[in-house]
Homo-oligomer: A and B are copies of this chain.
Amino acid sequence: MANMKAAIPKGTRDFNPKQMGRRNYIFDTLKKVFKKYGYQEIQTPTMENLDTLTGKYGDEGDQLIFKVLNSGDYLAKVGTALADLKSQALSPKIAEKALRYDLTVPFARYVVMHQNEISLPFKRFQIQPVWRADRPQRGRYREFYQCDVDVVGSASLLNEAEFICIYDEALSNLGLTDFSIKINNRKILTGISDVLGKPESIIDLTVAIDKLDKIGFDGVQTELLSKGFNTSDIEQLKPIILLSGNNASKLESLKLILATSPTGLQGINEIYTVLNYLTNFTLQNAKVELDLSLARGLNYYTGCIFEVKTHQATMGSIGGGGRYDNLTEMFGQAGLTGVGISFGADRIYDVLDELNLFSASAEQSTQVLICVLGQYEETYSLSVLNHLRKQNIAAELYPFGTKIKKQMQYANDKNIPYAIIVGNEEMKTGKLTFKNMLTGQQQMMSAIEIEKHLLTQS
């Protein structure tokens, strides 16, 4: 075995214990809320058949799928035309499998494949990594976690209302106090293009107004003009997407504006129903805001659309989702409606970090380190160690033979809050030195006293 450089592929990450503690804290907090609302976890394989994924994410998406080389003599099956093939044509012949690109397509595949064992409505959450051959940059990785919550087989808008509750409860439990859940409805967007008399241009329209946040109304106007809208369309559109006031007054105005579009009115009704459901639940911190410029993934969503932003940090959306009516059609099962949301775990991590919302306990595992100088002290201390662990106190003994100073450094590096130092004097008197690593304070205590103290801390 030759020596080689220790490195990992670009765009991928190792997670150290501190990062894992924080990541697990986020995932555990989310999972607890998902379960409270009746969602259950599933996992799907890292590799899917390539043809399960191809064609689902557009041409650009297809280029970003990581393909896994067939095993064995994969060239044997390619035949003699090898020399004439280009990469893109060769890939499906030598790679039948690919890495999961998102959690949505595998979920659709799962629902169809297991339809006979699934009880509808099927409420599932899934937290797993996905892979994309994107150019890595700050905050964009080739391997990252997605965290999706979906229900299929229920048209009830109670689900939409509960997703708003889930966002509120999960993000509040993580310590966020100021965030908005923006809501819109694909049918309202359809209604707007209906009243403009341009139902065929709904995609151009929504792609443009989706950018309102970034490019302002002037930018939206320029884009619309380039897409064949005229100034009178834009005059008509401006008051609609710039509607201000609270949700109720926006909806009242919209009802008049979209009066001639049955689809638009249905969208308004759906928003009313969701907001009405919400009056039965108490939200902790979320502001629910109707945002008519919200359009994310329009071709996909068919009803309500959500997006979450916090005002406590400069960060894009930390979550989003919506209702889709034809998720499983691609796998031959039509007519199954679904609605779901996702949490942007990496962005949430960065926000909590910036706001110092990670508690020290998320990062520590060991509660107390026993430090000894020699073999006798070590032997003496083993029963202390054994007792602490019997009380479910996470404890370590640093094996003898290392200077106390270095052992203290180890405790500090590992965020261990307490140390017990056992020396000659301690063995004679039975009183051990008990040190608070944070304050530096130390006192002499018996093993029993230390145990009691630690139990009250944990």
User: Closest residue of chain B to A414, judged by CB?
Assistant: B119
Contact B68 A13 (CB under 8 A): no
- A44: chain B residues at CB < 8 Å are 8, 14-15
- A143 in the interface (beta carbon within 8 A): yes
Give complex CA distance A56, B329 in Å. 45
A447 CB, nearest partner CB in chain B, Å: 14
Q: Is the CB of A87 within 8 A of B75?
A: yes
- Contact at A87–B66, with CB atoms within 8 Å? no
Q: Which residues of B contact A7 (CB under 8 A)?
A: 49, 52, 109, 113
| Residues A314-354 near B (CB distance < 8 A) | 329-332
**Does A266 reach chain B (CB closer than 8 Å)?**
no
Task: Tell which of B45, B330, B392 touches A4, judged by Cβ atoms closer than 8 Å.
Answer: B330
Please pick, from B2, B5, B35, B83, the residue contacting A394 in the complex, using a CB distance under 8 A. B35
CA distance A97 to B11 in the complex (A): 12
**Beta-carbon contact of A36 and B109 below 8 Å:** no
> Given that A91-B69, A399-B158 are known contacts, is A20 also in contact with B40, CB under 8 Å in the complex?
yes
The answer to whether A386 and B38 touch (CB under 8 A), given A9-B49, A94-B69, A332-B3, is no
The answer to whether B331 and A6 have CB atoms under 8 Å apart is yes
Q: A216 an interface residue at 8 Å Cβ cutoff?
A: no
7 A-B residue pairings within 8 Å (CB atoms):
A1-B330, A36-B393, A45-B143, A47-B142, A63-B72, A74-B87, A280-B383
**In the complex, how many angstroms separate the beta carbon of A46 from the nearest chain B beta carbon?**
6
Interchain nearest-CB distance for A66 vs B (Å): 5
CA distance A365 to B35 in the complex (A): 6
> Is B67's CB under 8 angstroms from A69's CB?
yes
Do B281 and A386 have beta carbons less than 8 Å apart? yes
Pair B399/A38 contact, Cβ less than 8 Å = no
Contact present for B277 and A9 (CB under 8 Å): no
Contacts of A413 in B (CB 8 A): 119
Are A15 and B2 closer than 8 Å at their CB atoms? Answer: no
> Which B residues lie within 8 Å of A148 (CB)?
none
Name the distance in Å between A295's Cβ and chain B's nearest Cβ: 21
Contact check, A399 vs B154: say whether CB atoms are below 8 A apart. yes
Contact B389 A6, beta carbon cutoff 8 Å = no
Instruction: Evaluate contact between B409 and A119: CB separation under 8 angstroms.
Output: yes
State whether the Cβ of A222 lies closer than 8 Å to any Cβ in chain B.
no
B55/A113 in contact, CB under 8 A: no
A5 → B minimal CB distance (Å): 8
Digitize A19-44: 1 where CB-to-B-CB distance is under 8 Å, 0 elsewhere: 01100100000000001111111111
Contact of A156 among B158, B280, B330, B399 (CB under 8 A): B399
